[in-house]
């Protein structure tokens, strides 16, 4: 029995020694995996650009909306020419960030107001939009978006805003007043370089 125990002790000791010798290798391996995973997330635009209360705004969504806004402003200039003041990329990006932050606030507010009816109310509005072939064409021509992206980035937020505005109207309140208060109360952290939140809006820094 003692001999067996001795063998077990030797085996366990050897295992501990091998583990100790390989700790650095294991640590380096883990760090390498984390680093490569981070690189993949960054290269695929999956990193967050802002945090709104407990919701994140991802880089992929931000850049897609920025490209759409750029296409839209470019089309305005083609139509109105000198009457439409050109905007630089930073100004457009700030506007897009502001819009995305407000959409998060409106979405959260609509869910609170509508409760379990939220999915039904939004779905009913989307059904109308999906039947409109003109919208599908406009998504590509005006914004340079596929209809799927236009639906998620424009139509769903608009439907949520309509739901919230309707609930507020029934209480004699205005969406503009609600949103102003929501912006002031919100916890917003912007990770995108060159931008900051001043308590109510996105500003350049």
pLDDT exceeds cutoff 90 at 78: no
pLDDT exceeds cutoff 90 at 163: yes
Cα 90 to Cα 37, 129, 142, 196: the distances in Å are 29, 32, 21, 12
Average pLDDT of the chain, as a whole number: 84
**Buried-state track 66-92, b at ≥16 Cβ within 10 A, e below 16:** bbbbbbebeebeeeeeeeeeebeeeeb
Better-predicted residue by pLDDT, 156 or 23: 156
Q: Is the pTM of this model over 0.85?
A: no
Q: Which phi and psi (to 5°) does residue 120 adopt?
A: -65, -45
């Amino acid at each position: 029995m003692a001999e067996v125990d001795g063998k077990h002790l030797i085996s366990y000791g050897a295992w501990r020694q091998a583990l100790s010798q390989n700790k650095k290798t294991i640590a380096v391996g883990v760090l390498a995996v984390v680093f490569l995973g981070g690189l993949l997330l960054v290269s695929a635009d999956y990193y967050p650009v802002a945090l709104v209360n407990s919701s994140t705004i991802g880089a992929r969504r931000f850049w897609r909306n920025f490209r759409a806004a750029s296409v839209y402003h470019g089309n305005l200039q083609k139509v109105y020419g000198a009457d439409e003041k050109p905007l630089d990329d930073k100004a457009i990006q700030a506007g897009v960030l502001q819009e995305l932050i407000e959409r998060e606030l409106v979405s959260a507010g609509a869910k609170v107001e509508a409760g379990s009816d939220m999915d039904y109310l939004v779905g009913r509005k989307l059904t109308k939009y999906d039947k409109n072939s003109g919208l599908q064409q406009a998504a590509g021509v005006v914004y340079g978006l596929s209809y799927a992206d236009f639906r998620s980035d424009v139509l769903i937020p608009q439907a949520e805003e309509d739901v919230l505005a309707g609930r507020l109207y029934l209480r004699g309140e205005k969406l503009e007043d609600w949103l102003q208060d929501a912006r002031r109360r919100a916890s917003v952290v912007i990770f995108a370089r060159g931008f900051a939140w001043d308590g109510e809006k996105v500003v350049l820094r």
